[in-house]
């Protein structure tokens, strides 16, 4: 981490006093991602051993910024050390925002509007910024070509189908892959393909989307990225909303190109399928092969999407072996076991101020735990912390040094863990845990974050966190 501290000091002319690893930010990559803070400034630091990915990300970022697109500013870089620091965009991803503003399939208008803003920006990446992008910087391929598609399809075949124990006829499946590839490449593919355009790669800052993780971008078809967003596994968007957002995207796209909607839709669902297959390959590799079980929690959502497609979509080409493999997946007891564990307990965690109204229970269960943190040492009374919150490194360090905080949180864990165990055994679907303090900015926020990090390590538990007072401040 010393190289990131050096880059921080080089940019701000101040030392980085705190380095905080960001939980849940590694995803399926080998990158280390941290938040650096010092002298009232913050930045995100990235360590990535793959030089070509770093070159692509930095090259694309600078190009997008020149185009006026909402991406993080690059502050400093050291490619020799695989390091760079960039603008800190906060902690709210589109995925987390969606989870905080939905109950089952009922999604609040606020979240729908966020998605509409996201799909409206996508054509600017694909068309405007894609016109004069340096595609020589792309890694590992300059286009989503036959080789790229083959990698994705074989990834699915060997790391998902094979490891999940789903039977298939290899030659017949290869024949289908050949037909699918030829059909995909018959679509116009002279645009920028973001490649991983999904809800965890979009940050929301002051209600506006900012975009990340486009280092795998290359030249390709328009259909791929919108399919990636709308069929993003755990986001689990309802079919009607997917269609509304697709229509909105096409309306926006028509402002940039002469759009033939029928031609677009002819290829659209083939790209939906290939994106789902790519994702399943990644889930299988990380989950079955690398034994990182949390990746398998996304499999049931992909199966749900495949089931919907099987009932509502007829492709213009015949893929009998692939469709047979899908039926085998949907009938697999092994994969059904994953489905039952994924449709599990949702724990909703809140921080709030006792000077205002307590969080409302939207699940209909009558609430859950409410913990009063006002007995703990209050960072808000110290001038150095007044402009900070329980998500800032200095406040976190302060509270971690307090023995009373450790004792309090240990008691919280004892109660919550016992309830989570019982709820799971009894098949309950919702638990609410709220932390209150005087201002709702420091102690309650810290404790909510700590509990969320603890519960995210459990398989089959979905965690949604909201900070009521921070939301009012736009943080």
Tens of pLDDT, residues 85-95: 999 999 899 99
Instruction: Answer yes or no: is pLDDT of 54 > 50.
Output: yes
Worst-scoring range by mean pLDDT, 167-176, 230-239, 297-306, 355-364?
Answer: 355-364
In this predicted structure, what is the pLDDT of residue 341?
52
What is the DSSP annotation of 193-220?
Answer: E-S--SGGGEEEETTEEEE---TT-EEE
Q: What is the pLDDT of residue 76?
A: 98
Give 360's pLDDT tier (boundaries 50, 70, 90): confident
What confidence tens digit (pLDDT) does each residue in 200-250 have? 999 999 999 999 999 999 999 999 999 999 999 989 999 999 999 999 999
Does residue 344 surpass a pLDDT of 90? no
Q: Which CATH topology does 2-86 take?
A: Phosphorylase Kinase; domain 1 (3.30.200)
With CA atoms as reference, report the closest residue to 420 among 371, 348, 315, 327.
Answer: 348
* 145 band by pLDDT with thresholds 50, 70 and 90: very high
Which band of pLDDT confidence, cut at 50, 70 and 90, is reported for residue 290? confident
Pairwise CA distance, residues 243 & 109, whole Å = 16
Q: By the 8 A CB rule, do 35 and 19 touch?
A: yes
Judged against a pLDDT cut of 50, whether residue 25 lies above it is answered with no
Distances (CA, A) of 125 to 21, 67, 192, 250: 30, 9, 7, 14
Helix (H) or strand (E) holding 352: strand 345-353
CB 90 within 8 A of CB 156: no
What percentage of residues in the chain have a pLDDT greater than 70?
96
- Residue 22 has what pLDDT? 79
What pLDDT was estimated at residue 295? 83
In the structure encoding, which two tokens stand for residue 246, read together? 């697709």
**Is-contact 246 222, C-beta < 8 A?**
no
Query: Which pLDDT band, with edges at 50, 70 and 90, does 8 fall under?
Result: very high
- Tell me which CATH code domain 94-341 carries: 3.90.1200.10
Question: What are the residue boundaries of the structural domains of the chain, listed by start?
Answer: 2-86, 94-341, 344-472
Using DSSP, state whether 432 is helix, strand or coil: strand
């Amino acid at each position: 981490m010393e190289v990131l501290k050096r880059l921080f000091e080089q940019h701000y002319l101040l030392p980085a006093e705190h380095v905080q690893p960001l939980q849940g930010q590694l995803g399926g990559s080998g990158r280390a991602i941290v938040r650096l803070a010092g002298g009232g400034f913050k930045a995100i630091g990235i360590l990535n051993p793959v030089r070509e990915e770093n070159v692509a990300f930095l090259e694309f970022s600078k190009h997008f910024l020149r185009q006026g697109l909402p991406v993080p500013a690059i502050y400093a870089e050291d490619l020799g050390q695989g390091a760079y620091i960039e603008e800190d965009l906060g902690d709210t991803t589109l995925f987390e925002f969606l989870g905080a503003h939905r109950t089952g399939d009922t999604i609040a208008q606020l979240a729908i509007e966020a998605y509409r803003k996201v799909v409206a920006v996508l054509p600017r990446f694909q068309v405007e910024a894609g016109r004069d992008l340096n595609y020589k910087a792309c890694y590992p391929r300059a286009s989503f070509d036959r080789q790229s598609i083959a990698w994705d399809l074989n990834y699915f075949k060997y790391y998902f189908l094979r490891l999940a124990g789903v039977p298939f006829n290899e030659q017949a499946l290869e024949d289908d892959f050949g037909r699918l590839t030829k059909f995909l490449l018959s679509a116009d593919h002279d645009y920028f393909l973001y490649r991983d355009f999904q809800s965890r790669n979009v940050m929301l800052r002051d209600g506006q989307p900012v975009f990340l993780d486009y280092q795998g971008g290359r030249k390709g078809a328009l259909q791929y990225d919108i399919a990636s967003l709308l069929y993003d596994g755990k986001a689990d968007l309802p079919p009607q909303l997917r269609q509304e957002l697709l229509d909105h995207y096409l309306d926006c796209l028509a402002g940039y190109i002469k759009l033939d909607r029928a031609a677009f839709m002819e290829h659209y669902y083939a790209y939906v399928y290939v994106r789902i297959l790519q994702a399943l390959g990644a889930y299988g590799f990380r989950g079955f092969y690398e034994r990182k079980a949390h990746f398998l929690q996304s499999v049931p959502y992909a199966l749900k999407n495949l089931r919907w497609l099987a009932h509502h979509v007829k492709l213009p080409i015949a893929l009998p072996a692939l469709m047979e493999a899908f039926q085998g997946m949907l009938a697999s007891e092994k994969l059904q076991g994953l489905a039952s564990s994924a449709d599990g307990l949702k724990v909703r965690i809140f921080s709030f101020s006792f000077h205002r109204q307590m969080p409302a229970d939207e699940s209909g269960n009558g609430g859950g735990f409410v913990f009063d943190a006002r007995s703990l040492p209050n960072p808000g009374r110290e001038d150095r912390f007044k402009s900070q919150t329980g998500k800032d490194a200095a406040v976190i360090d302060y509270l971690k040094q307090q023995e009373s905080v450790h004792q309090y949180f240990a008691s919280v864990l004892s109660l919550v863990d016992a309830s989570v165990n019982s709820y799971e055994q009894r098949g309950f679907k919702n638990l609410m845990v709220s932390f209150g303090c005087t201002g709702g900015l420091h102690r309650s926020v810290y404790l909510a974050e700590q509990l969320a990090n603890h519960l995210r390590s459990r398989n089959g538990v979905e965690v949604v966190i909201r900070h009521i007072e921070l939301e009012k401040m736009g943080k």
